[in-house]
Amino acid sequence: MKQTWRWFGPKDLVSIDDTRQAGVTGIVSSLHHVATGAVWSPDEIAARQSDIATMKDGSPSGIAWDVVESLPVSEDIKKQTGQWRDHIEAYKQSLHNLADAGLSVICYNFMPVLDWTRTDLAWVRPSGATCMRFDLVDFAAFDLHVLKRDGAADDFDDTLRDEATARFEAMSEAHREDLAKNVVFGLPGAAESFTLDDVRRHVAEYSAIDEDRLRRHLIDFLEEVAPVAQARGLRLCCHPDDPPVPLLGLPRIMSTEAQYRKVMQAVDLPANGITLCSGSLGARSDNDLPGMMERLGDRVHFLHLRNVKRESDALFGSFFEDEHLEGDTDMVALIAAALNEEDKRRAQGRDDWSIPFRPDHGQDILDDLHRKAQPGYPAIGRLKGLAELRGVIAGLQHGRPQT
């Protein structure tokens, strides 16, 4: 399992020098400054590779850009409106340019409007660490009383609506503003940012798009780009919905094993694959992460290893980002399944037998609390998680037959 680390570019407060000290062997990055729908040019790709390959003092880092996360899919493509056909052609050209530069693993997602959703970006734990959290009552308060989305009341039962109203009425204006900022924060480092009016407009544009239609749009997209990826030796891997339940009246199509199977079968090419994120999928109680790794493993091209703790047994409920070996996902069983998949690939002679993974998210601890890096991406918290994951891998590999 190849150890990688997400890096948001030269403005990231966790530097390439830091990643070198963490001992990773590859970087996961993106061209966040390039507008969604535009072509990633060879020059821009080369510049990011140079950034990653160079330490602060100008010496070689010895680390390469291994995984692209993300090559974003535009809202026009997801809705099949506006310039969506032009954006698909731009996406294909970006794939060609990435292949020419030697990159092979391309992570993306097909979540409408927001890439991920949390209500608190720095929830304080009993240890003094902070983490990201999704509080269902806070989210309902946002949807009902801050965003004031049409039809929001139909998505929550009477008890939850009453709790959300009481919670909202008890909030200070500053708390309400912070809640709104947290919910629309989306993916850190993205070129675009949303105001509440933007969110209302984008959500309204999906009013006629249900789960089946959005899945059809994803399949249409993949029928265009997956053959390009296949021909160029690239591996596309779709990140799951986060959280893996419908939000804001928007459809979700990559939240369960059954949903992944539909898309994998519809475009049945090895290049059409999966980013198995144990945190995103683990927020849903009916997802069996080790089982998904066993059953879908031949199409898993990238692993995000993190853990969440669900705060109830409800399918749609509150959760927080727990430590990597805590939470509700059996991380040891998941890693064991990943190592077994690697054994199968080696036996089959696959060049992609080593599955890249990164310690996804992490709690802010120690100096992280003062550094204030991207929410979810602290230096020390992720290093702690990586060290724990390394320990699991080393323990499971001990005594295994070496090939």
Q: Copy the structure tokens of residue 351.
A: 């060049």
* Burial 224-263, CB ≥16 within 10 A → b, else e: bbbebbbeeebbbbbbbbbbbbebbbbbbbbbbbebbebb
C-alpha span between 254 and 58 (Å, rounded): 42
**From 135, 360, 364, 368, the catalytic residue:** 360
Q: Is residue 209 within 8 Å of residue 72, measured between CB atoms?
A: no
Catalytic residue among 91, 108, 260, 377: 377
Looking at 239, 241, 260, 364, which residue is catalytic? 239
For residues 40 and 58, give the distance between their C-alpha atoms in angstroms, rounded to a whole number.
25
Classify residue 47 by its DSSP letter. Answer: H
Active site residue 277: yes
Q: Does the active-site annotation cover 175? A: no
Whether 237 sits among the annotated catalytic residues: the reply is no
Helix axis angle, 211-231 relative to 84-100, nearest 10°?
Answer: 30
Can 377 be counted among the known catalytic residues? Answer: yes
Q: Which of 91, 242, 277, 364 is catalytic?
A: 277
Tokens of 393: 């891998």
* 47 phi/psi in degrees, rounded to 5: -65, -40
Place of tokens 């390039």: 34
Active site includes 18? no
Active-site choice (32, 304, 324, 368): 304
Q: What is the CA radius of gyration of the chain?
A: 20
Compute how many other C-beta atoms are within 10 angstroms of the C-beta atom of residue 317: 17
To the query of whether residue 360 is one of the catalytic residues in this protein, the response is: yes
Catalytic residues: 239, 277, 304, 360-361, 377
